[in-house]
A and B are shown apart, each in its own frame.
Chain A
Amino acid sequence: MSPARAVLVKIAGGLSILALWEMVARGFAAAYVARPSGILRVLPQTLGSEAVLRGTAITLWGVTQGLIIAVILGTAVGLLMGSLKLVERLLGLYVNGLYAMPMIAILPLLTIWFGYTSKTRLATVVFASFFPIAMNVADGARSVPAEYLEVARSCRARPHHLWFGVTLPSSLPYLLAGVRLAVGRALVGAVVAEFFVSVDGLGFYVLFQSRTFHHNQAFVAVLLLGAFALAIDALIAWLTGRYLRWHRPGEDRR
């Protein structure tokens, strides 16, 4: 398929999905239900509205803060786990178990600890994104080629040289793969926390607008969330391809 034709096909596909949605909504659903024409009508006004701008800023800032904390902690724990067998065996049980646990199950506990405040959202984001990062970094640290470490040791490298000079750079692609996973989970965590504790943000905006039967406006916020997820995914894929060419795809734990 020529590139021009591929683009045409994609546009046609997108338009037919939207047309189908519009027809179903018109034919079978109540007037307040979101539909493409309605979303398009409210789009400029909603995107420019103060509530959406503020909600977006608050949610993204919360997610970013949480991710920074999770990257620092997760890298430290992951490096320890990947390079020291004892640490791996002592912590592996907990990291694996908590990774597999649906993170929203601890939301009620977090509200007891942090109250109905934005701290609960931050804690949820950290909890949601820490484990994929730690697990991926541990995978990365484990798979450092043994020869690299041997050469470094025979050049009398100190432990911190091994860590920051060999293990960490060599684990970077895994770290990015972990962050990629973590971003999706962090967004889910932030939205769920906003639903649960009713703090201001994009998730709360969706909840509020859909409760007051403004489904079109609410859907604009949902689309924004999807756009962020895709944009960050694309950014990380680009970073990996641009700066970390030695990454072998398919080794990330998605």
Chain B
Amino acid sequence: MLRSDARWVRWATYALSALGGAVLWELGGRGASPAIFSPFSASMERLVEMLRTGELGAGLAGSLALFFAGLGLALVTALPFGLLLARAPLVRAAVSDAILLLYAMPMVALIPFILSLMGVDFGAKVIVVFLFCFFPILYNTVEGARSIKPELIEVARAFRSSEWAIWRDIMVPGAFPYAMTGVRQAIGRGLVGMVAAEFFLSASGIGQLIMTSARNFDTAGLFATVLIIALLGSALMALGRALEDRFTLWRGGGR
């Protein structure tokens, strides 16, 4: 029966899984000292309380504003830049290694520099999120543009297609699905950047909620906030996957 794919069996096992997790969490919390672990019931109580006082709502709003400002800035810069590189093969060949290096580099290591150059205000934090998001989008857009068959452009040229038409009909549709893979990666990395900026530049948003509850040994609040971050991460990742899948269909089978 458990191997069945019927819808109710699937949902029943998911429900069982959620319930089992909550029970384990509750038992673990009851067994341990409240200074290091908080049972499910206490965490939920604290969660409701944080929702009611508006702490959580304000924290989430602040964090999301930071996240989307950084991601948006990365989108409007990395996408056009990547496409431009696609039409300039010489420049692309010249900078592609640098892009790969920056794509692979752990960006958190740059946070101390940003801290001492730009301070701790909202703008500096946006730059942190931007740095985490920029290179995945750029790298994947360039990869996508490189995957466009040169014959397509040659044929378009042979039919006296204008530069604008080449962009509209070949470059953008060809590179877009790959760029969406970059956007999905950028969402994941940007979330890390968001929390890192809130931890290390100046405390704000969700990061501040985590820090203060940890400092006050308010483990119930800490678990509640971490749960919210996990949910937020899952929702944003699902958004990224949906975007990617939507355009991978367009890209056609295989890679």
Contacts and interface: CB of A to CB of B under 8 A. Distances in A.
B200 to A, nearest CB: 6
Interface string A136-156: 000000000000000000000
Nearest to B237: A100
Interface residues of A, number: 63
B255 A250 contact: yes
A26 to B, nearest CB: 15
B17 A91 contact: yes
A93 B229 contact: no
Contacts of A230: 100-101, 104
Contacts of A102: 188, 191-192, 194-195, 229, 233
Dominant secondary structure of chain A at its interface with chain B: helix
Given A90-B17, A230-B104, A13 B192 contact: no
B81 interface: no
B222 A195 contact: no
A178 to B, nearest CB: 15
Contacts of A19: none
A188 B108 contact: yes
B58 interface: no
Given A102-B233, A108-B211, A184-B104, A206 B98 contact: no
- For the side of the interface on B, what is the size category? 35 or more
B3 to A, nearest CB: 6
Contacts of A97: 230-231, 233-234
B17 A249 contact: no
Interface in B134-180: none
B94 interface: yes
A4 interface: no
A206 B217 contact: no
B210 interface: yes
A254 interface: yes
20 contacts: A34-B113, A90-B16, A92-B17, A100-B237, A103-B192, A104-B196, A105-B195, A105-B206, A105-B230, A109-B226, A112-B36, A112-B222, A191-B106, A191-B109, A215-B116, A221-B109, A226-B106, A230-B104, A250-B254, A250-B255
